């Protein structure tokens, strides 16, 4: 059995290969758009979401080619959300994964369009027969993705984040914000494995519950990293949330309590995986990684 | 048989009803996002694209509930593209359909997110079983929409438009720009009727050819309106293209030649409809309307 690091690296390489086939270098007058899409997506990143898809899909023996395509689609959605989130009118970030953000490397208009095109491409990727021989599975994947990514999922979370600049959130509010902003897409990743694998309801729910706890644990760890990490380690600006006076888990709970809560959530996440036995060990390791990483 | 105006108004009301069911007024901290999505989509507009879907679908006796949902999905994509296109970093427009643009009425960040969420919602709408009992049809609709809307369609056209600010286009370049920027989505509308109606290849191609010519005729008429219309008639700023020194059909061909070319394209568009006989009369009327409208 590979270690978590080996397994993540392996999935990352596979997914990058899929992404290379759908993100061709630019030609013609629209070449700058294609280049910005590549820059936004192929610039590293942990590929955490594709790994979640892969590890969940493996529980149901979904063919690798299929789970990698689903993983690539999720990564396109994740990348688009970062590009738009970094825009001057949003978080106004200059640095992402240790490199200039898309609107700094290209320009704002190209960043808006690149995000739009990446989101659209995610659905294109899922719609193609290579993603699953079953049209029913493909439709269900696209439906679940649109729920997770849209106004009642990720984008809704970003809207709450905007509103929170004027009206700071309490703990319930932050929990809901994060469940939408990052949790919904993480939930989709685990659900996607179950959808592609025609999983029965109990197992699908177990994976969703795991994803829910994992997502929150991951976010609390992110808040701690923002406070304690360095630019070198994280590849992005740190202590921005703190400087902006944003309500975060850490700010409301304090560092010690937040660290305890992250550990509790990681343990609870692992607990949901009992039904899968030892086959889910990589997902268990991931829950540990989520709270112990340095970037 | 209803007149074109009656038929368009009828489809418009139907589609607005569908849109009302998926664009609920905002509640909670993310309410501003929901309100911006409604504002962007329910603020009038000709509903030309949903009408094209409806008229094409009627040729194959597609149930009305289905064609209206497809039309609503296209209108969501069209609305999202206008919201992003109007942003300060893109066309920087203050007025749309006679009202402040979304980023003027709300704010830039909300406009970016509203556009993102509208695009996502379009796929959500198509994915639901009510759009077609056949998962194959739904997948094919989503695939065709992602092609038409993405980097090789509408967004690609917008990217060419950006590039043209630095390097003015020739006639071939403008034709390609418009075929992508507005033509691809108009093509999808006609194709969608054929997909939902399980049309044979010949009829599907005839509709695509019609859409291609219609789209270009429509765009040339738009250029003429930009030059000759008033703010009151068009509900948006006029002579912006001219002031910006942008290459347009009219600028390259001159007013008389452009008007002739629009008439030629409209006639050619109608020609493609022969296979449908009198059933396609509304689509023929629409080709006339495209070049004779005042807004």
- What CATH number did the domain enclosing B88 receive? 1.10.600.10
Q: Choose among B29, B117, B163: nearest Cβ to A150.
A: B117
Whether ipTM exceeds 0.85: yes
Range of the domain at A84: 4-292
Q: What percent of chain A has pLDDT over 70?
A: 94
Min Cα separation B164/chain A (Å): 8
Number of domains composing chain A? 1
Task: Give the nearest chain B residue to A87 (CA atoms).
Answer: B109
Cβ of A117 within 8 Å of Cβ of B90? The answer is no
pLDDT at B245: 67
pLDDT tens for A37-77 read: 999 999 778 899 999 999 999 999 999 999 999 999 999 99
The yes-or-no verdict on residue B244 having pLDDT over 70 is: no
CB contact under 8 A, B150 and A120: yes
Q: Residue B234: pLDDT above 70?
A: no
Give the pLDDT score at B172: 94
For position B241, what pLDDT does the model report?
A: 64
Structure tokens at A255: 């560092």
Q: What are all long-range contacts of B13-17, with beta carbons under 8 Å and residues at least 24 apart? A: B14/B54, B14/B64, B14/B68, B14/B71, B15/B47, B15/B50, B15/B68, B15/B71, B15/B72, B15/B75, B16/B42, B16/B47, B17/B68
Q: Using CA atoms, how far apart are residues A20 and A22, in angstroms rounded to an integer?
A: 6
Q: What pLDDT shows up at residue A244?
A: 66
Look at residue B204 and tell me whether its pLDDT is greater than 80: yes
Cβ atoms B242, B227 nearer than 8 A: yes
Size of interface A-B (CB pairs under 8 A): 163
Residue A260 C-alpha from the chain's centroid = 23
Under the banding of pLDDT at 50, 70 and 90, the label for residue A199 is very high
Which of A30, A34, A112 lies at the smallest CB-CB distance from B84? A112
Cα nearest neighbour of A129 on chain B:
B139
Q: What is the pLDDT of residues B163-175, one digit of tens each?
A: 998 888 999 999 9
Report the candidate in A89, A86, A134 with the shortest Cα–Cα distance to residue A106: A86
Give residue-wise pLDDT tens across range B146-167: 999 999 999 999 999 999 988 8
pLDDT for the residue numbered B59: 98
At A120, the pLDDT band (50, 70, 90 cuts) reads very high
pLDDT tens-place string over residues A36-45: 999 999 977 8
Q: Contacts of residue B147 in chain A, CB cutoff 8 Å?
A: 124
Cβ separation A124–B115 shorter than 8 A: no
Q: What is the mean pLDDT of residues A102-110?
A: 97
Please, are residues B218 and B240 in contact by the beta-carbon 8 Å criterion? no
Decide if A116 and B119 are in contact by the 8 Å CB cutoff. yes
Q: Do residues A179 and A212 touch, judged by C-beta distance below 8 A?
A: yes
Mean pLDDT for chain A overall: 93
Nearest-CA residue of chain B relative to A89?
Answer: B109
């Amino acid at each position: 059995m590979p270690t978590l690091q080996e397994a993540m690296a392996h999935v990352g390489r596979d997914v990058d290969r899929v992404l290379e086939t759908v993100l061709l270098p630019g030609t013609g007058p629209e070449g700058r758009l294609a280049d910005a899409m590549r820059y936004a997506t192929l610039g590293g990143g942990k590929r955490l979401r594709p790994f979640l898809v892969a590890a969940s899909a493996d529980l149901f023996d979904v063919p690798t080619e299929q789970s990698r395509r689903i993983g690539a689609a999720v990564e396109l959605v994740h990348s688009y959300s970062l590009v738009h989130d970094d825009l001057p009118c949003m978080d106004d970030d200059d640095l992402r994964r240790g490199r200039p953000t898309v609107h700094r490397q290209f320009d704002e208009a190209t960043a808006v369009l690149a995000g739009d095109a990446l989101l659209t491409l995610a659905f294109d990727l899922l719609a193609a027969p290579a993603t699953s021989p079953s049209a029913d599975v493909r439709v269900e994947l696209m439906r679940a993705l649109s729920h997770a990514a849209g106004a009642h999922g990720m984008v809704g979370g970003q809207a709450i984040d905007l509103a929170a600049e004027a009206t700071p959130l309490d703990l319930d509010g932050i929990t809901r914000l994060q469940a939408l902003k990052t949790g919904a897409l993480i939930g989709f990743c685990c659900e996607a494995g179950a959808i592609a694998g025609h999983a029965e309801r109990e197992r699908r729910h177990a994976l969703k519950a795991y994803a829910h706890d994992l997502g929150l644990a991951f976010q609390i760890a992110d808040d701690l990293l923002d406070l304690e990490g360095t630019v070198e380690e994280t590849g992005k600006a740190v202590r921005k949330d703190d400087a902006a006076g944003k309500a975060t888990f850490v700010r409301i709970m304090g560092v010690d309590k937040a660290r305890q809560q992250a550990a509790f959530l990681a343990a609870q996440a692992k607990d949901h995986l009992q039904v899968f036995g030892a086959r889910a060990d990589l997902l268990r390791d991931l829950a540990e990684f989520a709270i112990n990483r340095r970037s």
